[in-house]
Structure 1
Amino acid sequence: MPVLLPLAIADFKLVFRDASLRIFLVMPFLIFLVILVALPALISRYPGADQFTHVILMGALIQTSTMFGFIYSIVLIHEKEMQVAIVYGVLPISKVGFTLTRLVFPFVVSTLFSLSLLLIQPFFFLDLTSCLLLAILSGLLAPTLILSLASLSKNKMEGMTWYKLLNLVITIPLVAFIMPQYAFFFAIIPSFWIYDTLNLMIAGQSYGISMLVGYLYFLFFGIMILLDFTRKHFRT
């Protein structure tokens, strides 16, 4: 905590200095408004819309994490642009440990927002343990996205472009829950397993295998991306 808190404060200062990023801090709250206010009103007006409630909730869950992922990726991209990353690279500290420490805060925030969304959404009853396990899985998307964007982007403009592309890839598996016959094609994308786990929870079916696959996917991709990030970022 003595190390984590100063890093989190420093990163947040960078976020608030950039006016273009402040809107992204508001977006998770707007997502909550959609789920709590707009969607119930839509279903009340158009009863047939309730058949897509689970898909909308899946999308809202994922976007809550991607927002924080994008915000923190810009912090890392900014220090790459300013050549600060090179300074970090010559410090006598573990680059992997330093990077993981900086990822703790966005992971925790994403997990808490995901958990809150799952617990307060008014459409399905989901027990606390299931929600917590799924929120942690969804929260892992934030650090994965942070490292991916920071590794791929040389500047903020590239970061925005890559975010749009990766966010599309993350979101597109939702098609599998509108047209289940195509589910097999999307299983290779890690976010599919978050969607599938929530879908099984809503249906009251066993979700253990789906959740386990999701955790293993993120563990594998996370390690690969972390190693690639530490290799590139501190030698900019």
Structure 2
Amino acid sequence: MVVKRIFLLAVSDWKNISRDPLLIFSMVGSLLLALLVRFGVPELHAFLSQHISFSLNEHFLIIIGLVLLMAPLMIGILYGFILLDERDEGLLLYYSITPLTKSGYLFGRLLFPIGITFLLAYSIILIQGIVAVRFASFIPVAFLFALQTPIITMIMATLASNKVEGLALTKVINLCILVPLIDYILASPLLNVVAMFFPVYWPVAMLLENQPTRYWIDFILGIMMTVLWFTVIHYKFQRKIE
């Protein structure tokens, strides 16, 4: 029965999203960006090689990593706005006294974005066409990307009091796209350690990793950091709605 109610909750979400062009763009924005990369980056690479002798080829993986990171950011923000709307309308209190319960409501609100982001990650890999990625070895990377989505959602719902504040907060959240670049561009050990404290750093690090042993170390550290962040944010969210 609870599973059915969570499914109906997801169906209701899709209906609400389909009525708002901005929400629709949030769902497909990362795919459009992947299309831009597929057709635009090779042309940019050819232009740079010809005019300034700069090879973009060796940076293709980080480009794809940043495109992949846009998926959890956009889906997380999307569901963050949904949570803010429903909190303002008092639906959190309503669900707390239904058979779904408040925990079931949050589970549904966070589980489906994870699944959506996981599918988007694989769709981006299929579309991008500039780097070869083995589908089997990409599963842990896609999973870690997907786990970033509920963190973004909970940050939105916890730190913003309304949709106006949520809109302002999205500008800060989108700066997360710069975190993997700190380690990639800068040679500062201190800044690199700081970047590692952000969970969004780890899935991109896994994508760039060539050593199998280090790949799994990155995965474990990424899971640990993601769980830590989610636990703290979830605790603060529960305190806010009590």
- Please give the range of the TM-score, normalised by the shorter of the 2 chains: 0.7 to 0.9
Give the C-alpha shift of residue 120 in structure 1. Answer: 4.6
Output the TM-score relative to the length of structure 1: 0.88
Change (3 A) 1:32 1:129: same
1:27 to 9, 25, 29: 29
Deviation at 1:204, TM superposition (A): 7.0
Match of 2:184 among 154, 174, 177: 177
| Alignment match, 1:65 | 72
Task: Report how far residue 28 of structure 1 moved.
Answer: 1.9
Q: Distance in 1 between matches of 2:19 and 2:25?
A: 12
Q: Is residue 189 from structure 1 mapped to residue 198 from structure 2 by the alignment?
A: yes
Give the fraction of aligned pairs with identical amino acids, expressed as a percent. 26
- Quick one: distance in 2 between partners of 1:205 and 1:60? 25
Find the residue that maps to 2:56 and give its secondary structure.
helix
1:25 and 1:91 map into 2 onto residues whose CA distance is 29
Deviation at 1:73, TM superposition (A): 1.0
Confirm or deny: 8 A CA contact 1:190 1:217 kept in the other structure.
yes
Alignment of 1:222 with 2:224, yes or no, is no
- 2:217 paired residue among 209, 212, 218: 209
Residue-pair matches, total: 233
**Alignment match, 2:207:** 198
Q: Deviations over 1:19-46 (max 9, x none)?
A: 4323323312211212211112211222
Q: Is the 8 A contact 1:119 1:128 kept in 2?
A: no
Cα drift, residue 94 of structure 1? 4.2
Query: In 2, distance between residues paired with 1:191 and 1:49?
Result: 23
**Distance (whole Å) between structure 2 residues aligned to residue 124 and residue 21 of structure 1:** 29
Equivalent in the alignment of 1:6 = 8
Q: 1:104 and 1:190 mapped to 2: Cα distance? A: 18
Structure 2 counterpart of 1:143: 150
Larger mean CA deviation between 132-141 and 112-121 belongs to: 112-121
Q: Show the 5 A alignment for 1:111-126.
A: 111-126=118-133
Superposed displacement of residue 116, structure 1: 2.5
Deviations 1:94-152 (A, max 9, x none): 42333112211111010111123235533333322221110010001111111110111
Relative distance call for 1:163 and 1:83 in structure 2 (3 A) is: same
Q: What is the deviation of 1:207?
A: 0.6
- 1:53 maps to a residue whose letter is F
Gaps of 5+ in 2: 50-54
1:218–1:185 CA distance, 2 compared to 1 (3 A): closer
Which structure 1 segments of 5+ residues have no match? none
TM-score norm. by structure 2 comes to 0.86
Instruction: Give the superposed CA RMSD.
Output: 2.2
